Amino acid sequence: MHGFDVYDTTMRDGAQQQGINLSVADKLTIARHLDDLGVTHIEGGWPGANPNDTEFFARAAQELQLRTATLAAFGATRRAGGSAATDPQVTALLDAGTPVVTLVAKSHVGHVERALKTTREENLAMIADTVAHLVAHGRTVVVDTEHFFDGYLLDRDYALACVSAAVEAGADCVALCDTNGGMLPGQVHDAVADVIASTGARVGIHCHNDTGCAVASSMAAVEAGATHVQGTINGYGERTGNADLVTVVANLQLKKGMDLVEPYRLQDATRIAHAISEVTNFPPFSRQPYVGAGAFAHKAGLHASAIKVDPDLYQHIDPKDVGNDMRMLVSDMAGRASIELKSREFGVDLAGDDEALARVLARVKELEQRGYTFDAADASFELLLRRLLGEEDLELARIESWRIMTDARGGEDALSEATVKVHAGGQRIVATGEGNGPVNALDEALRQAFGVVYPEIAELELIDYRVRILDAAHGTDAITRVLIETSDGASSWTTVGVAGNIVEASWEALLDGITYGLRRAGVDPR
């Protein structure tokens, strides 16, 4: 009796997303994270067709010690008119040394005749020959039937014949692929049920997200009897991406009661999803189900009042089940309950302190009117809260002044220079920094100045910088909002600055980001 396969293809299909370029070292890192999540299969790439993937499998054999996952190599059926035993690409799959080999096979008659330029009969022979050859060499074979659902609608009998050819040759599972991503969940459900009833195959599902239904279609396939589901972390993939594997697993486990991964592994899902985001260099999507920063974030004052009574009133699961947490967003929609709950996140209990709650709420609403937003700037709100509560040891330095000069000569790149003067550690410090823009120069100067007294600043890094022009009708005279994300290598936080001058707004967000990071690290004023 087979179990249920949670099959990840982030490093192969997900890596086809525009802008993702994974090194071998990146793929080894991602594989370790996926193993921590508890997936059953990790598809490493296409050996023989891609030199990096060939190197990955060679290094994986020496360097990867997987505890829960099995490594799979991906490739295609043999060439038309040839033999699997002599096909170099099939040989490369065997040379990869993985216990599992996944083959992509044509199941759409139009692709067989126009893309492969071969006959229907030869395509069936290519499937059977390649599967049988790999099985004879001790490999477990998964067959991905490319464009299956479109092919099924065009010629059901031929699509089913492709599935049967794979099963009869010894394939462990046949994954039905919505390669174009155009199917709706009901269509997927009915086709999967038909395939199982007609062929007796063990069926898997591989969905793309072009209709926004990849997760729903994957769920529909499982309801119809599929016992193997493919997807990518964070929904990476070409065009609009693949089914987000974390969402699919969380839905099946937490909503349908299926036992797919150990609960403690699912409780690490948020960390793992964000860690892989760092490797791919794609910022985490705040609205991503289950693991996004906004997945359990509440903004309206009415929600906050209810959550104060019972968090479950506005949450579909306990966020801790996926390693996330509830967040209260402080905004111009906030009421006293929002402020109280948000403050509690920072270890500040304002319950019963009506005067302090009123003061903080009034200040928040005033700043929001001026263009500030604390929805995505928790660090700035925490600093604001502590300043309003009179914490005297919050500031690490007294700022005397700062200035920026930008020098542009002819066709050469402009160079910016910033000077910062601060008082810290009983001394007056003057520091100058250069950069490829005013904000970069200001960041360098600020780091040099603080670094004299606070060497811990070397651990902090600016990782994201976002600008929003407010009141755009005013043109270059508009108010500017800057959001800066800073990291200490283990986590990150966001600060906000607002001013008529983009550099002044950047300075405010930069200074708050560094102040918050140092205080978070336990640094006291010196």
Query: Domain spans of the chain?
Result: 5-255, 297-369, 398-520
What CA–CA distance (Å, rounded) separates 242 from 186?
18
Banded pLDDT at 298 (limits 50, 70, 90): low
For the segment 182-194, what is each residue's pLDDT rounded down to a tens digit? 999 999 999 999 9
With tokens 């000077």, the residue in question is: 419
302 pLDDT higher than 60: no
% of the chain with per-residue pLDDT over 90: 63
User: Lowest-pLDDT range, 146-150, 207-211, 295-299, 367-371?
Assistant: 295-299
- Can you give the pLDDT at residue 375? 65
If you average pLDDT over every residue of the chain, what do you get?
89
What CA–CA distance (Å, rounded) separates 292 from 491?
14
For the segment 197-237, what is each residue's pLDDT rounded down to a tens digit? 999 999 999 999 999 999 999 999 999 999 999 999 999 99
Banded pLDDT at 333 (limits 50, 70, 90): very low
Tell how strand 70-76 and strand 100-106 pair up.
Answer: parallel
Between 269 and 408, where is the model more confident? 269
Banded pLDDT at 277 (limits 50, 70, 90): confident
311 pLDDT higher than 90: no
* Closest residue by Cα to residue 34 from 7, 5, 72, 62: 7
* Closest residue by Cα to residue 6 from 191, 199, 196, 251: 251
User: Lowest-pLDDT range, 116-120, 356-360, 401-405?
Assistant: 356-360
- Can you give the pLDDT at residue 147? 96
Average pLDDT over residues 393-410: 86
For the segment 5-29, what is each residue's pLDDT rounded down to a tens digit? 999 999 999 999 998 999 999 999 9
* Closest residue by Cα to residue 183 from 143, 224, 142: 224
Between 45 and 329, where is the model more confident? 45
Average pLDDT over residues 70-88: 96
- Can you give the pLDDT at residue 332? 45
Instruction: Tell me how crowded residue 154 is: count the other CB atoms within 10 A of its CB.
Output: 14
Average pLDDT over residues 379-389: 85
For the segment 82-112, what is each residue's pLDDT rounded down to a tens digit? 999 999 999 999 999 999 999 999 999 999 9
CATH number for the region 5-255 comes to 3.20.20.70
What CA–CA distance (Å, rounded) separates 288 from 295?
7
Is 437 strand, coil or helix? coil
* Closest residue by Cα to residue 405 from 436, 438, 358: 438
DSSP labels for 445-475? Answer: HHHHHHHTT-GGGGG-EEEEEEEEEESGGGG
- Can you give the pLDDT at residue 390? 77
Banded pLDDT at 464 (limits 50, 70, 90): confident
What CA–CA distance (Å, rounded) separates 352 from 131?
70
480 pLDDT higher than 80: yes
- Can you give the pLDDT at residue 48? 87
CB of 120 closer than 8 Å to CB of 113: yes
138 pLDDT higher than 70: yes
Residue 368: partners with Cβ closer than 8 Å, 6 or more residues away: 331, 332, 374
What CA–CA distance (Å, rounded) separates 416 from 37?
45
CATH number for the region 398-520 comes to 3.30.160.270
Asked if domains 5-255 and 398-520 share a fold, the reply is no
